[in-house]
């Protein structure tokens, strides 16, 4: 009786381990399956003019995407996964930074225009 119980526990454990391994091997979240999401993220950054207002993080994201593709071709999945993660962060940063930098530039231009108008007003003759 005791031997039968031990056999059941061992068999159950082996079945659970086998199912876990089968599920782990059947996962579809590979590095290359994340490329389209990354490319979409980079395109979103370009849509808000990141190439003008946040070129450094955008170029970094694009370079890391290419590096990840090269790493996948070389079968270095650890490096590829790391590069994809870093590229996602860089693309997100570029997408968030671009509108801020654009607003800063517009504020500087407005400030300069206001100063120019003040100077012109000072130069105008006084009204009697």
Q: Quick: pLDDT tens for 47-90.
A: 999 999 999 999 999 999 999 999 999 999 999 999 999 999 99
DSSP 49: T
Distance of CA 11 to the CA centre of its chain: 45
Q: Please state whether the predicted TM-score (pTM) of the whole model is above 0.85.
A: no
Residues with Cβ within 8 Å of 63's Cβ and at least 6 positions away in sequence, in order, are none
Alpha helices in the chain (DSSP H): 2-25, 35-47, 50-53, 55-73, 77-123
Per domain, the residue ranges of the chain are 1-30, 33-123
Each residue of 104-124: pLDDT tens digit? 999 999 999 999 999 999 988
């Amino acid at each position: 009786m005791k031997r039968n119980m031990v056999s059941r526990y061992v068999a159950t454990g082996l079945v659970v381990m086998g199912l876990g391994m089968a599920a782990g091997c059947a996962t579809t979240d590979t590095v290359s399956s994340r490329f389209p999401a990354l490319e979409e993220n980079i395109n979103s950054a370009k849509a808000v003019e990141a190439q003008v207002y946040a070129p450094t993080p955008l170029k970094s994201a694009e370079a890391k995407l290419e590096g990840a593709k090269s790493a996948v071709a070389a079968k270095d999945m650890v490096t590829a996964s790391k590069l994809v993660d870093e590229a996602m962060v860089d693309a997100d940063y570029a997408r968030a930074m671009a509108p801020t930098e654009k607003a800063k530039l517009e504020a500087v231009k407005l400030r300069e225009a206001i100063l120019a108008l003040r100077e012109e007003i000072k130069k105008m003759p006084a009204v009697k």
